Amino acid sequence: MKILSKYFLKEFLKFFFIILFVVITILLIAEFFDKTDEFYAKKPPVYIIVQYLLLHIPRFIILASPAASLLATLLTIGVASKWRETVVIRASGGSIKRIFSFFLITGAFISLSVLLIGETIAPNAMSKALWIKNTKILKRQPKIAYREGALWLKGLDGSLIRIKDFITDENTVLGVSIFNFDPSFELIQRIEADSAEWSDNKWVLKAVTVFDFGSGVMTKNASIISGAIEEPKIFKDEMKKPEEMNFLELYTYSRRLEKAGFKNLRYIVELSGKLSYPMVNFIMVLFGVALSLNSKLGGGIKAAGAGLGVSLLYWLIYSVSISFGNTGFIPPWFASWLSPLAFGVAGGYMYLRAHE
């Protein structure tokens, strides 16, 4: 039995890596054509384009692994059924369910590996890819620096600006400090504001305190208009996106915004997804084994067709649940778990009732 388990496991891994390679290649080609206009306009060196694309591979591994897990399971068992290998095993008194249960351990290992990639390699690779795109391809110089847990940038009027956080959906910045200097770089004025909102193409600072060091006068204002801060686009372009953060970074950022009174449902959905998405690999293997044991998939084409159908159904449910979570129609923490739970329960039920 151990020999057979190793044989089928070897076949599973062969199909898994072939499918993973094919899907990643398709995603890389899609990414290339999606950025063709930018590449053509800026005409960067080929090695820069290649480096940019290769840095997407860790993220694409995460995206492609569930489909590869499901298809590899269905193809392995489907081919074994086609060549009557499962019939031989039953005739010799072997347990089909027991042999293919080793796939579940492999699925759990794949899930853990994908989780580790998503928490370590993928965020750093995506940050590097976006940096290459902005600086090496689009020739944009970074305007925002991250220091001491805050955003620092040069104001349009030559001032130095420190911002604690930016709320993307609200076009609002929190914890604004604007430092104005004279030509000899001596601090002459400091403006502190609890927040600033982008309204009518200008920034409106709220709860403002102005320190004038020349006169020694401090004034308070409910709101003032500032022309020092650039448009919100600069923050949206240069600030870290959720895919550039690991779970702890995104959790810290989300909690910081929540304490400031801004609860972003999308970040809660993203947080939950960073844990649920890798687990899909185990669930897909479980569902694939259960589906194969309860049906006559036959050869590879039928197995592949079943796998594609299941994958499409899964992503349909997943996309709808994510949309519902982002809008608050269902609890955001539950949105990314709805599909895995549904397929996990269905797969577990079919696995338990599978006949030997």
Q: Quick: pLDDT tens for 86-139.
A: 656 665 656 677 777 788 999 999 999 999 999 999 999 999 998 898 888 888
Token pair of 55 as six digits: 């840095």
What percent of the chain has a predicted confidence (pLDDT) above 70?
92
Token pair of 116 as six digits: 């580790």
Pairwise CA distance, residues 73 & 259, whole Å: 45
- pLDDT: is 294 or 310 the higher one? 310
Token pair of 240 as six digits: 């870290």
Residues of the chain with CATH 2.30.30: 144-229
pLDDT of 280 reads 92
Token pair of 130 as six digits: 């976006």
Per-residue pLDDT at 33 exceeds 70: yes
**160-192, pLDDT tens digit by residue?**
999 988 888 788 899 999 999 988 888 999 999
Burial class (CB in 10 A: 0-12, 13-18, 19+), 189: middle
CA angle 330, 333, 338 (to 5 degrees): 65
Burial class (CB in 10 A: 0-12, 13-18, 19+), 215: exposed
Q: Average pLDDT in the 40-64 region?
A: 92
DSSP string of 108-126?
A: HHHHHHHHHHHHTHHHHHH
Q: Do the Cβ atoms of 303 and 75 come closer than 8 Å?
A: yes
pLDDT of 93 reads 59
Q: Average pLDDT in the 264-291 region?
A: 90
Fold of 144-229: SH3 type barrels. (2.30.30)
> 175 φ, ψ to 5°?
60, 65
pLDDT of 142 reads 80
Q: Average pLDDT in the 13-40 region?
A: 93
pLDDT of 16 reads 95
pLDDT of 134 reads 86
> 95 φ, ψ to 5°?
-105, 115
Pairwise CA distance, residues 198 & 267, whole Å: 21
How many residues does this entry show for the chain? 356
Q: Do the Cβ atoms of 226 and 196 come closer than 8 Å?
A: yes
What percent of the chain has a predicted confidence (pLDDT) above 90?
45
- pLDDT: is 2 or 115 the higher one? 115
The residues, any chain, with a CB within 8 Å of residue 273's CB and separated by 6 or more, are: 322, 336
Least confident of 231-235, 245-249, 295-299, 338-342: 295-299
Pairwise CA distance, residues 83 & 11, whole Å: 14
- pLDDT category at 53 given cuts 50, 70, 90 is very high
Least confident of 38-47, 151-160, 253-262: 253-262
- pLDDT category at 15 given cuts 50, 70, 90 is very high
pLDDT of 207 reads 93
pTM exceeds cut of 0.85: no
pLDDT of 356 reads 60
Q: Do the Cβ atoms of 133 and 52 come closer than 8 Å?
A: yes
Q: Do the Cβ atoms of 166 and 173 come closer than 8 Å?
A: yes
- pLDDT category at 233 given cuts 50, 70, 90 is confident
Sheet arrangement for strand 172-181: 144-147, 150-154, 160-167, 172-181, 187-199, 202-212, 217-226
CA angle 211, 212, 215 (to 5 degrees): 140
Widest CA span in the chain? 97
Nearest one of 274, 278, 208 to 243, comparing CA atoms: 274
pLDDT of 300 reads 52
Beta-ladder partners of 167? 172
Per-residue pLDDT at 297 exceeds 70: no
